Structure 1
């Protein structure tokens, strides 16, 4: 029996520029010239997405950094990923 590989999310290599400003991150979709501001928790997740991360990796990072229940963290992470995917800021592999 073989296990199914986990989905890895990663910041898109083209069309996305970003800079950290304190504990927040500003992301620019260079194709549409739309800016996104990420608070410290979004920035925490974004920095993990730079090298690639699974949903479980992101949930674990959020739970370790905040007083949030894993179920709530899972829902928040999925919403965050859905938004980034909708705007084409991350890739799935």
Structure 2
């Protein structure tokens, strides 16, 4: 949580969703994130919810996907110092 990346995503989740970020340290899938962490590069796993991951009829929730895009946009703007709170995410509102 001391990482600028982690703080930026936490802030973005708060701005976009008006909720506190939910934390967990493991899931059933896999990423290359551990290799980046071993190299000293901060990593975060964040994405949409869905059903039947890596199985038949795998699906993600479109609303979650749009929220994820808003959080990513807000995170990038925050890291680059380009957006005031809530402005970047507003551009993706339906």
The two structures have a TM-score, normalised by structure 1, of 0.34
More strand by share: 1
